[in-house]
Amino acid sequence: MKINTKYLGEVEINEEKIIEFENGIPSFLEEKKFILLPFDESTPFYILQSITTSELGFVVVSPFHFFPDYQVKLSDATIEALTIENEEDVAVFVILTVQEPFTNTTANLQGPVVINSKVQKGKQISLNDPNYQTKHLLMPQAVGKEG
């Protein structure tokens, strides 16, 4: 099927790749179907695009590239909700808040998006770890050099 996207115009998607967010995403509780689209080949950025609302797309990234020590502990409630059986099926992304200047762009490490890729179910969880907040600079080494 074809969908309209916020960042990539009209794209053809495989319906089997649609990820179900049973409870929506906080602030967007009615949005229950998303798809992950690579922004381009050369960067690790993905768009978590709503299937139903073309203007709703989040910029997400695999956190481990930028935050090698990042740890996500899944609660029993999450494991149950996403019917997770194997750790290898789980993909973790964090949502970016892109800022101008873009060196101020932050990643939300407190609320990662967890996807069970085996059954295409996703959920934004919240971590209780005091080390993680909603705004962590994505590229701290770039601050002050540009923008």
Partner 1 sequence: MLVLSRKKDQSIMIGDDIEITVLAIEGDQIKLGINAPRSVEIQRKEIFLAIKEENASAASTSVDLLKQLTGTFLSQEDKK
Handedness of CA 73, 31, 17, 22 (dihedral sign): positive
Q: Are 140 and 105 within 8 A, CB to CB?
A: no
Residue 18: how many CB atoms within 10 A of its CB? 16
Residues 72-111 that bind partner 1 (CB under 8 A): 75-78, 80-81, 95-100, 102-103, 105, 108, 110-111
Residue 16 beta carbon to partner 1: minimum distance, rounded to whole angstroms: 26
Q: Which of 10, 14, 27, 86 binds partner 1 (CB under 8 A)?
A: 27
Closest by CA position to 114, among listed 78, 67, 64, 61: 78
- 128 interacts with partner 1 by CB under 8 A: yes
Phi, psi of 84 (to 5 degrees): -80, 125
Whole-number Å distance between alpha carbons of 103 and 42: 18
Interface mask toward partner 1 for 30-49; x: CB under 8 A: ---------xx-xxxx----
* Residue ranges that bind partner 1, judged by CB under 8 A: 6-7, 25-28, 39-40, 42-45, 56-59, 75-78, 80-81, 95-100, 102-103, 105, 108, 110-111, 124, 126, 128, 133-135, 139, 141-142, 146-147
